[in-house]
Amino acid sequence: MFGDDFNGINPLNFFQIISDCRYLPEKKFGKKYADFLVPDSSPLSGEDNFAEVAMGWHEEGIILFIKVQSPFEAVSYPDVTEGDSVELFFDTRDVKTSGFNTRFCHRFFFLPEAINGHLAGEITRFRSEEKHPLCDPTLLKNETVMKKDGYEMNIFIPSECLSGYDPGQFDRIGFSYRINRAGESPQHLSALTEEFRIEEQPSLWASFRLVR
């Protein structure tokens, strides 16, 4: 019935991930980051789960803590997917009817260590005139602690870098991520790179309610 190249249907494609993003008044995670963990979709995707992602919100921006339990190898730029890196995708209005990035969509990258002066930045691509200026990379906060078996990142994305971010008026955001490893397969949240260009398809990103 199916050819030799048929790889099966990924169960993740049949689920829309909806979760809560809790308010974080300190704008930085402490030891209780477990209360803010993003859902693990690896039971559906079949991926190797090697990282934990915690996310909170504040009026002034989005806060993340990422714990990668995979030894650091190397970073790459401008193709950050070729090395160890974290990519974060946001839609500040969580519009699920668009098949391409709108002016409310963002693709950020964060590296465990700098390469040629690059540590973090926005690399969003737009297909139409509906776009926003890419944010100043110096506004993105990225504190990384290297461990023997991986690394931990404390990230803060200020509201100035999030076009349309207004928790008082819009209490939901679209969010996804791709955590890359040099020479190894990445970890995703809501869709897989091998099946979709997830960085350009916000309709596939998870939905998060901004709750207190």
Question: DSSP letters of 153-192?
Answer: EEEEEEGGGSTT--TTT--EEEEEEEEEETTEEEEESSS-
pLDDT score recorded for residue 15: 62
Q: Where are the alpha helices (DSSP H) in 17-168?
A: 42-45
3 within some domain: no
51 within some domain: yes
pLDDT in tens, 42-85: 766 667 899 999 999 999 999 999 999 999 999 999 999 999 99
Which helix (H) or strand (E) element contains residue 42? helix 42-45
Six-digit token pair at 149? 């078996």
6 within some domain: no
User: Is the per-residue pLDDT at 91 higher than 80?
Assistant: yes
User: Is the per-residue pLDDT at 160 higher than 50?
Assistant: yes
pLDDT score recorded for residue 138: 97
Beta strands in the chain (DSSP E): 18-23, 51-58, 61-68, 85-91, 105-115, 118-122, 141-147, 150-158, 172-181, 184-188, 206-211
Query: Mean pLDDT over residues 191-210, rounded?
Result: 86
pLDDT in tens, 127-152: 878 899 999 999 999 999 999 999 99
20 within some domain: no
Beta-bridge partners for 56: 22, 63
pLDDT bin (cut points 50, 70, 90) of residue 191 is confident
Query: Mean pLDDT over residues 180-189, rounded?
Result: 93
19 within some domain: no
Residue 178 belongs to domain with CATH number: 2.60.40.1190
36 within some domain: no
Query: Mean pLDDT over residues 192-199, rounded?
Result: 76
Domain ranges, residue 185: 41-211
24 within some domain: no
56 within some domain: yes
The total domain count for the chain is 1
Six-digit token pair at 167? 């928790």
